[in-house]
Amino acid sequence: MRYCKQICHRCGTEADSLRASWFNLHMLCQNCLTEEVAHPLYEQAKRAEFTKTQTGNYRFEGFGLPDDLQRKYYPN
């Protein structure tokens, strides 16, 4: 195989490339990324990420997945 398919951490879909979530440490497919961008808390999560890099707090594990997405993907 010349390239490896990657698996989205959130929905489990195979994807050619994954991008980092703004909400947590997941690597996401394009669909999940688009869903995040459309989320009302997206801008807030981006600001939190900026604050992290400014303060050098690399133990920060992300803004946290919003409750509605949490329930959608992790109902238990």
Of the residues 18, 32, 41, 65, which one makes contact with Zn ion according to CB under 5 A: 32
Smallest gap, in angstroms, from Cβ of residue 35 to Zn ion? Answer: 8
Residues 45-73 as b or e (16 or more Cβ within 10 Å = b): beebbeebeeeeeeeeebbebbeebeeee
Report the residue number, 50 or 71, with the smaller CB distance to Zn ion: 71
Q: Does 27 bind Zn ion (CB under 5 A)?
A: no
Work out the end-to-end distance of the chain between its first and last CA atoms, rounded to an integer number of angstroms: 36
Which spans of this chain sit near Zn ion (rule: CB under 5 A)? 8, 10-11, 13, 29, 32
